[in-house]
Amino acid sequence: MQIGVDSERAVDNRRVFVVDSDEITSAALQFMLHDEIETHELASLDAAYAKAKDWKPDVLLLGIGIVKERGIEILAEIRSKIADLKIILVADSATDLLARECLQNGVNSILAKPLTIEKARQKVDAQLGRRVKLSIPVQVV
């Protein structure tokens, strides 16, 4: 099923890896992105490193749970193993203290929950340097 797919983006040779200790979040992100970009849901960073040898990703969606488990130093390890990678941290909140610390230590952007197709695609598109549609939320009073 394709949801709001831009055909130009669907044939673009860009790749996203999703690594999150929360399997539901990981599967949801893979589903949200796979129509417009080649998206691979991986069980661990080690699996991502192995796959990156032959299929280098442009963007890594990294669950904050991985950083909590492995420490902030994991960001430097990721950068050393996969060159020229954009990292989007998937967190419960953009104001989370660990998420803010990750921004200062190599993460390019934060994708805050609740996840939506539009937000996920916009974050990835921005990191890929693609044109991002401007959306201004309107609140009806």
CATH number, position 119? 3.40.50.2300
Q: Is the dihedral of CA 68, 72, 48, 26 positive or negative?
A: positive
- Per residue in 89-117, pLDDT (tens digit) is 999 999 999 999 999 999 999 999 999 99
Residue 28 lies in domain: 13-128
101, two tokens:
């610390």
Domain assignment of residue 74, yes or no? yes
Which of 67, 69, 108, 62 lies closest to 89 in space, CA to CA? 62
Domain assignment of residue 1, yes or no? no
- CB atoms under 10 Å from CB of 19, counted, come to 24
- Per residue in 65-86, pLDDT (tens digit) is 999 999 999 999 999 999 999 9
pTM comes to: 0.85
Q: How many domains does the chain fold into?
A: 1
